[in-house]
A = this chain, B = another copy of it.
Amino acid sequence: MNVSDYFKLKAAKVDEWLGRLLPAEDEAPETIHQAMRYSIFAGGKRLRPILAIATGEVFGAEERELMPAACALEMIHTYSLIHDDLPAMDNDQWRRGRPTCHVKFGEAIAILAGDALLTQAFLTLAGYETANLDRKIRVISEVARAAATTRALIGGQVLDIESEGKQITSEQLEAIHRAKTGALIRCSVQIGAILGNANESQLNLLTKYGEKAGLAFQVADDLLDETATSEELGKTAGKDAASQKATYTAFYGLNGAREMAARLCQEAIDAAKCVERDVRMLESIASFIVERKS
């Protein structure tokens, strides 16, 4: 299967599971459930769940464990987008081709919808059927660690906010993105490996794959922000440059950033190859990450 069909197939499956895992829109209090679903069903690529699923499939992980864990990763990703878009943060009006959550539902409900998706992620991670409780606890720990403050999601957003308008080094730029986008992408790969009972050496290689793919994703994101239109992106293009955010393209130029993305993609693929399993889909996903158009 080519990577584009794989994404379509798995994204549909993720959406089906998310539909079951989230409270229904007509369940009280309705507003919050509508806001949660509005943001999660806004047409995201489902990169994080698909990385977890593709990695899990390499090792024959069980679907009843893999799908809830994959969906929890998407809930956390969506919560972080809702909160990042708030007026007090990036103040974005537009996301995935439609008004952001706070524009649609107001700021209070948007804050609470983010909180609720984060909480629902852990409810989901604690709730699925499994015969291996050790593995389940490990997954919860890894996800919480990736979503926390130290070299993790929230910490990355803090660094990002604090760096705005300031002169930062390329090391600081990398630290921001390793934390802000890298930690959860790496974690997604790790969760797939853990649920598939990968051994420690395989887990280390896949962690490296996830790290490189996560950085490649961010470099490609910066490139798209400069070269794609708002329509293609479904969000305001050129916003990073306008708000004087440090980006890979600002540091290395368009060509430098393109070379960097290609190199990171290759390093990810090299790490995956060493796992000595059929990792072709992981290779294709790494390439897709740097070649995507939105």
How many positions in chain A have a CB within 8 Å of any CB in the partner chain?
Answer: 49
Within 8 A of B (CB), among A135-155: 136-137, 140-141, 144-145, 147-150, 154-155
Task: Decide if A266 is an interface residue (CB 8 Å cutoff).
Answer: no
**A134 closest partner in B (C-beta):** B133
Which stretch in A24-32, A190-198, A238-246, A283-291 binds the other chain?
Answer: A24-32
- Bound-complex Cα distance A86 to B108 (A): 9
**A124 closest partner in B (C-beta):** B144
B108 touches A154 (CB 8 A): no
B108 touches A149 (CB 8 A): no
- Bound-complex Cα distance A287 to B243 (A): 55
- Bound-complex Cα distance A28 to B122 (A): 25
Closest chain-B Cβ to A77's Cβ sits at a distance in Å of: 13
B29 touches A162 (CB 8 A): yes
Task: Decide if A256 is an interface residue (CB 8 Å cutoff).
Answer: no
- Bound-complex Cα distance A29 to B115 (A): 21
Which of B88, B116, B136 meets A108, CB within 8 Å? B88
B29 touches A116 (CB 8 A): no
B136 touches A123 (CB 8 A): no
- Contact A149:B116 (CB < 8 A) given known A111-B111, A155-B28: yes
Query: A interface vs B, CB < 8 Å?
Result: 23, 27-29, 31-33, 36, 79, 83, 86, 88-89, 106-109, 111-112, 114-116, 118-120, 122-123, 125-127, 133-134, 136-137, 140-141, 144-145, 147-150, 154-155, 157-159, 161-162
Besides A32-B149, A119-B149, 18 new A-B residue pairs in contact (Cβ under 8 A), listed by A number: A23-B149, A28-B155, A88-B106, A88-B107, A108-B161, A112-B158, A115-B115, A115-B154, A118-B118, A119-B144, A119-B148, A120-B144, A123-B141, A123-B144, A123-B145, A127-B141, A133-B136, A137-B137
